Amino acid sequence: MANRDFEIIIVGAGPAGLTAGLYAGRSKLKVVCFEKLAPGGEILNTEHVEDYPGFELIGGPELAQKFTDHAMKFGLKIEMEEVEEVRKDGDDFVVKTDMGEYRAGAVIYTPGGYPRKLEIPGEEEYAGKGVSYCALCDGAFFQDEVITVIGGGNSAVEEAQFLTKYGSKVYLVHRRQGFRAHAVALDKLKDNDKVEFILDSVAEEVVGDDKEMKALRVRNVKTGETTEVAANGLFVFIGFIPNTDLIKDPVEKDESGFIITDQNMETNIPGLFVAGDCRSQLIRQITNACGDATTAAVAAEKYLEAQEDAKKSSAAAAAS
């Protein structure tokens, strides 16, 4: 334990990583957070956040800066290094980055993930100007507007239902007739008067002017016919890809590839804690990422204390 570089290493400086860093810093632990890009994570790509308590409306980058400043004020070191590997080595963890190798007693793993993209023309151009990957975050910006949703899984079906709270009309575009979504949720959506299904169809292009999206061009895969659906919003729910590959030990995951933890955010690998978007959970929001990261930081501290106590007990037993 003496040769550890840090007590805790945090992987990823999104809301979860920065919150874990804040709590670990406040506990005066020797902690570092490695981030490959800029601190803030996914909220850096979010124009407005209006569901973080205490801030009715705040820019994503501004909230990211507040998280960063707050954590650093309490001693968190943020290093711009890309983590390549996390593995257990005896009682320690070894975290390999593009700049070196570091040992720690515990790891809080918070690198998030990313929504699968359609990769069609206009998708990137109109991101934040009509195109979104989060209904809870952005739905309210589409009050009384026409919204398109892509996907046939539970996320698409549930979020399409949610978006009918705001949109005057919601089109669900799915590439085949069959759905992966639960039948109950699907039936409920079919009963919703605001919803129209466009099946056997794929999105081909997001069309708009220099300010915002105006329509979605879709192609029927059976007839080849192309139509333009006039809409101001496009919500894409075709899967979310968690960043779990850096962990080299066999960490337990759910059927969708998200990491399973106990209520202390600890995985099946003792000392490896997970919070944020790559954790198996019901929703992926800033609020629960922060809450779970708080638990992870406190649990990691207790884990290190227990490890230290066990070491002292075995040293005392050996001496007697």
Choice between 8 and 149, CB closer to ligand NAP: 149
Q: Is 154 in the site for ligand NAP (CB under 6 A)?
A: yes
Q: Is 219 in the site for ligand NAP (CB under 6 A)?
A: no
The candidate with the shortest Cα–Cα distance to 29, out of 45, 8, 13, is 8
Answer yes or no: 137 catalytic: yes
Answer yes or no: 290 catalytic: no
Separation of alpha carbons 204 and 227, rounded Å? 10
The contacts found for 279-286 with CB under 8 angstroms, 24 or more apart, are: 280/253, 280/254, 280/256, 283/136, 284/240, 285/51, 285/136, 286/15, 286/43, 286/49, 286/51, 286/52, 286/63
Segment contacting ligand NAP by CB under 6 A, of 67-75, 94-102, 234-242, 300-308: 234-242
Rounded-to-5 percentages of helix, strand, coil across the chain: 30, 30, 40
Residues 31, 9 contacting (CB under 8 angstroms): yes
Binding mask 88-127 for ligand NAP (x = CB under 6 A): ------------------------------x---------
Residue 61 tokens, joined: 């980058």
Choice between 150 and 296, CB closer to ligand NAP: 150
Choice between 69 and 196, CB closer to ligand NAP: 196
Segment contacting ligand NAP by CB under 6 A, of 49-57, 93-101, 133-141, 144-152: 144-152
Choice between 2 and 184, CB closer to ligand NAP: 184
* Buried b / exposed e along 262-285 (16+ C-beta atoms within 10 A): eeebbbebebbbbbbbbbbbeebb
Task: Please identify which of the residues 33, 137, 278, 290 carries the catalytic annotation.
Answer: 137
Phi, psi angle pair for 113, to nearest 5°: -175, -165
Choice between 176 and 190, CB closer to ligand NAP: 176
Separation of alpha carbons 252 and 177, rounded Å? 33
Task: Please identify which of the residues 5, 69, 91, 134 carries the catalytic annotation.
Answer: 134
Give the CA angle between residues 78, 82, 88 to the nearest 5°: 95
Distances, alpha carbon 272 to alpha carbons 184, 251, 289, in Å: 37, 9, 16
Answer yes or no: 134 catalytic: yes
Q: How far is the CB of 163 from ligand NAP (least distance, A)?
A: 14
Binding mask 172-191 for ligand NAP (x = CB under 6 A): ---xx---x-----------
Segment contacting ligand NAP by CB under 6 A, of 90-98, 101-109, 153-161, 273-281: 153-161
Segment contacting ligand NAP by CB under 6 A, of 21-29, 59-67, 154-162, 164-172: 154-162
Choice between 154 and 294, CB closer to ligand NAP: 154
The candidate with the shortest Cα–Cα distance to 49, out of 111, 118, 126, 132, is 132
Chain residues in the site for ligand NAP (CB under 6 A): 118, 150-156, 158, 175-176, 180, 202, 237-240, 256
Q: Would you please indicate which residues are annotated as catalytic (active-site) residues?
A: 134, 137-138
